[in-house]
Amino acid sequence: CPTAADLRPANGTRVCAQLYADNSPYYDQCCAGDVLVVPPGTDAPYMPRGWSARASSLVVGTRCELTVWSRKAKKGKSRRFGA
């Protein structure tokens, strides 16, 4: 998986988090498959099409916080992730 400081694409734009679709018991294979990029300031009460219950790994960038909920529309239990 990339480190929190690595979350910068080639053009230098800041990325707050990346969620990955593929999972593995081996750490070096966890952050694989499709990637959902979360830019700074994103407020999404619903996961994009095809991502519901699909994210298996995530990395949160420095100076960012990612809050996720167990149910749609920001309902249910929440959990916060940081770098």
Residue 33, Cβ density class (10 Å: 0-12 exposed, 13-18 middle, ≥19 buried): middle
- Per-residue model confidence as pLDDT tens digits over 41-51: 999 888 888 88
Alpha carbon 60 to its chain centroid, in Å, reads: 6
Write the CB contacts of 31 (distance below 8 Å, at least 6 apart in sequence): 1, 2, 18, 20, 22, 57, 59
- C-alpha Rg value of the chain to the nearest Å: 13
- Per-residue model confidence as pLDDT tens digits over 15-62: 899 999 987 777 777 888 899 999 989 998 888 888 888 888 899 998
Q: What is the pLDDT of residue 38?
A: 92
